[in-house]
Homo-oligomer: A and B are copies of this chain.
Amino acid sequence: MKVLIIGGAGMIGEKLHSALAKSHSGKNPVTEVILHDRVEPRTAFIEDHGFQTRVLTGNFADQAEVRKLASLRPDVIFHLAAIVSGEAENDFQKGWDINGHGTWQLLEALRAEHVESGGTYVPRLVFTSSIAVFGPPYPEQIPDDFLCTPQTSYGAQKVVGELLVADYSRKGYLDGFSIRLPTICVRPGKPNLAASSFFSGIIREPLNGMDAVLPVPDTVRHWLASPRAAAGFLVHAMTLDTSLLENRLSLNLPGVSCTVAEQIEALRKLAGDDIVKHIKPGFDENIMRIVEGWPRDFSAERAKRLGFTAEEGFEEIIRTYMEDDLDIRT
């Protein structure tokens, strides 16, 4: 099985690449992984994964580039590449160009390849969407059939991507679906431009002996899963029988619902008071406005029934970070 990861140099791409190594020995093993991104991945691809890894750099939103990728005829494509929420909100044009039009061009390139193959090439496409597709007012817990009324450009772009993936799949040009990831936390490495970046920062920076700014009140409740869980979602999505989705090709994934105060208490329990003191309140109206519009809790029943699993609580999320990333130089 040939696997293409678009956005392969990003944090999730890297975690997925490693997770594929642990899971590739099924009845249809992974033989090659193509990591595609604007930049080369850091280190992970050098390791021996039991399959060949190829690195390609370029802009997936460029038409020639995406045609080249499609012509490789990967069996599975993970589409992880995106302008993140904060950047897409600040740069309207760039967000729509990359997240909207770029994703569309990817699907068009795959359709052209499908046609050229005489209809035999029907790749699995896994599109990573986000809980930013939802908008308030919310019920206490969001059910699987809750409507999409995004209140950010990023969220709107993700819904457009979902709709395109669903229609191209319905027509048989590909076999795709969308998974709406919880906010991924604790992200290793540096803060990014996502408005949700602080959810990782307030855990990661203190555990590394550095101060972290908390831009929102600690009463903020949010929906989270670890990078390890995210990689697990993607590996599970790779071989899911999509007929089980019954024409609703977007899935809310499981996660942990907790408040910032609960997150801080979990950190205190695992790492002590001195570590928690590194968290410094610093209210940021812009971030607060974006986060306010985000959902807080999901039932995620369909995804659980289909075998997707996440952590049971926030302590487990922190422990996952400590096991997988804390000692690795970032």
Chain A residues packing against B (C-beta within 8 Å): 92, 135-136, 145-151, 153, 156, 159-160, 163-164, 166-167, 170-171, 247-250
> Would you give the shortest CB distance from A59 to chain B, in whole angstroms?
20
CB distance from A302 to the nearest CB of B (A): 13
Q: Report the 4 A-B pairs with minimum CB-CB distance, sorted nearest first.
A: A156-B167, A147-B147, A156-B163, A149-B248
A contacts with B: majority SS: loop
Which of B135, B148, B164 meets A148, CB within 8 Å? B148
Residues of B within 8 A of A135 (CB): 247-248
In the bound complex, CA of A250 to CA of B159 (Å): 15
Complex CA gap A151/B166 in Å reads 9
Taking CB atoms, residues of chain B closer than 8 Å to A247 are 135-136, 149, 151
A156, B247: Cα distance in complex, Å? 13
28 CB < 8 A contacts A-B? A92-B171, A135-B247, A135-B248, A136-B247, A145-B146, A145-B147, A146-B147, A147-B147, A148-B163, A149-B166, A149-B247, A149-B249, A149-B250, A150-B163, A150-B166, A150-B167, A151-B247, A153-B167, A153-B171, A156-B163, A156-B164, A156-B166, A156-B167, A159-B159, A160-B160, A160-B163, A160-B164, A163-B163
